[in-house]
Amino acid sequence: MLPNAPDEREIVVPVADRWNQLTLVRLWMTLPGVDYQVRRDATLLAEPMTLANGRKVWLDTVSEQVTNWSPDPEPPATSALVVPMGPDTHAVSAPGYLVKGLRLG
């Protein structure tokens, strides 16, 4: 998270510092011979990458307004609940954990 100069192969997507706007980078894959039709409100980030099997991988970005937001942010969590998760109990493919923020009071 420290500032540094991006590698020349990297694509930097600017993100507005707003909590009522969501910026997405989307990955699309098409069959051989099929081109992806970029939405009117999206921006194609680079030329598609062609895979060995002929499929193409496309990256685009789009910003969307979040309409169901409150101008007053929720108070921060005062604690956290850590829930261990495993393939036998939570239908996940690998063991891990879920951290849930808690507000008491």
Q: 10: which DSSP letter? A: -
The strand pair at 21-30 and 96-102 is best described as unpaired
Angle at 1 between CA 16 and CA 7, to 5 degrees: 85
The pLDDT score that the predictor gives to residue 74 is 75
pLDDT tens-digit profile, the chain (105 residues) = 678 888 888 888 989 888 888 999 999 999 999 999 988 999 999 999 999 999 999 999 999 988 876 777 778 888 999 999 999 888 888 999 999 988 877
d(CA 9, CA 49): 13
Helices and strands (H, E) in the chain, number of each type: 1, 6
